[in-house]
Amino acid sequence: MQVVIMGCGRTGLALATRFDAEGDQVTVIELDDEVRVRLPSGFRGRFVAGNGITPRVLERAAIADAEAFVALTPNDSANIVAARTARDRYRVPRVIARLHDPVHGPVYGEFGIATVGSVQTTVNRVVQMLHHLTLEPHQTFGSGETLLVRSRVPDYLAGRQISELYVPGEIGVVEVTSAGHSRVPEPSTQLRHGDVVSFIVAAGSLGRLRSFLDGTWS
Amino acid sequence: MMRIIVVGGAGLAEQVATALEMAGDEVTVIDTDPGRESALARAGLRAVRGDPTVPATLEAAGAHRTDVLIAGSRSDETNLVVSLLAKKHFAIPRVIGRVNNSANEDLFGDAWGVDALVSPSTAVVSLVRPPA
């Protein structure tokens, strides 16, 4: 994959190093030319000094040939301008921008740019680690707004139908493992003793799911 | 009389805002300079503090009923995001963007909601070497 990374701070450097090690063709765009020396020896990618919102700087990074563009500078506005320019002007198919201040989230959404938000991801993760010790997520999506959680069903739910576990907009059931065999359940599938269920759950509804599984949900 | 929002701080934005106010327009400045609110207030300008790339700040400055917005900060990325919000979110009829780095000039157009641009370096160059 050809990937252009704008911003070579801690995250940009780690990402560039990782992509390079995995055999991808990496170009880093960084305002500060002296940062070049932080790239690991043996790095096969390219380094372009300049501001990644400027079209001719993006062109020096061969943006039109890139399959992915990731904007990781500390400046939210620069990230969104560069990401949107990469997508709309240079037709880069996959574009991601970092979001530092969650207050800018709605604007990124309005402009149609996918984001990774360090603050929101950390907040969601800490809350979830401290509040929901028994429900370890297997996977989180977006900035942690939804999670995939697996749990053994409590005995009091044996004999009930999968459809009784659904809460629209909050909790869904995507998979059931019964006696070692996994399947995608029907709404009418009956739960049995010892079944392990994979839930997709909104971060704000983890407490509800937990009290549900504890049998304390009225 | 027009209702005008000027985004920026000391220098160009403040002087433009002052001149328009003296010409009889109703001007609100979204002040992007730290600690300059009192200076803008002393100049008789209505000033709003806050991040101009957040819709709530533009709304507090009256973006829903403004005729013209001038994105005149010293940051091209700020001016572009503000211009697009002004056009897409608030449907402001006329949006004017300030270009700080002339290499960014061709971003200031329809794609970012800019109706007209002001590029000081390009203006000076065209006075010395008029376009052929």
Closest CA of chain A from B81, distance in Å: 7
Q: Which residues of chain B have pLDDT under 50?
A: none
Instruction: Write out chain A residues lying below 8 Å of B76, CB-based.
Output: 53, 81
Is B104 in contact with A85 (Cβ distance < 8 A)?
A: no
pTM listed for this prediction: 0.76
For the stretch A36-70, pLDDT in tens is 999 999 999 999 999 999 999 999 999 999 999 99
Could you tell me if the ipTM is greater than 0.85?
yes
pLDDT at A218 over 50: no
Q: Which of A60, A75, A77 to mutate to test the interface with B (most CBs of B within 10 A)?
A: A77
A92: burial class by Cβ within 10 Å (0-12, 13-18, 19+)?
Answer: buried
Instruction: Write out chain A residues lying below 8 Å of B107, CB-based.
Output: 53, 55, 81, 85
Is B77 in contact with A77 (Cβ distance < 8 A)?
A: yes
Query: Which one of A54, A57, A77 has the shortest CB-CB distance to B53?
Result: A77
Q: Please give, one letter per residue, the 3-state secondary structure of chain B.
A: CCEEEEEECCCHHHHHHHHHHHCCCEEEEEECCCCCHHHHHHCCCEEEECCCCCHHHHHHCCHHHCCEEEECCCCHHHHHHHHHHHHHCCCCCEEEEECCCHHHHHHCCHHHCCCEEECHHHHHHHHHCCCC
Burial state string for A102-121 with b = 16 or more CB within 10 A and e = fewer than 16: ebbbebbeebebebbbeebb
At B119 the pLDDT is: 92
Contacts of A66 (CB under 8 A, 6+ apart): A2, A3, A4, A27, A86, A90, A92
At A193 the pLDDT is: 87
B101: nearest CA partner in chain A: A54
Contacts of B118 (CB under 8 A, 6+ apart): B72, B96, B97, B98, B99
Residues above pLDDT 70, as percent of chain A: 94
Is B107 in contact with A55 (Cβ distance < 8 A)?
A: yes
For the stretch A89-145, pLDDT in tens is 999 999 999 999 988 988 888 888 988 887 877 877 776 666 554 677 788 898 888
At A207 the pLDDT is: 82
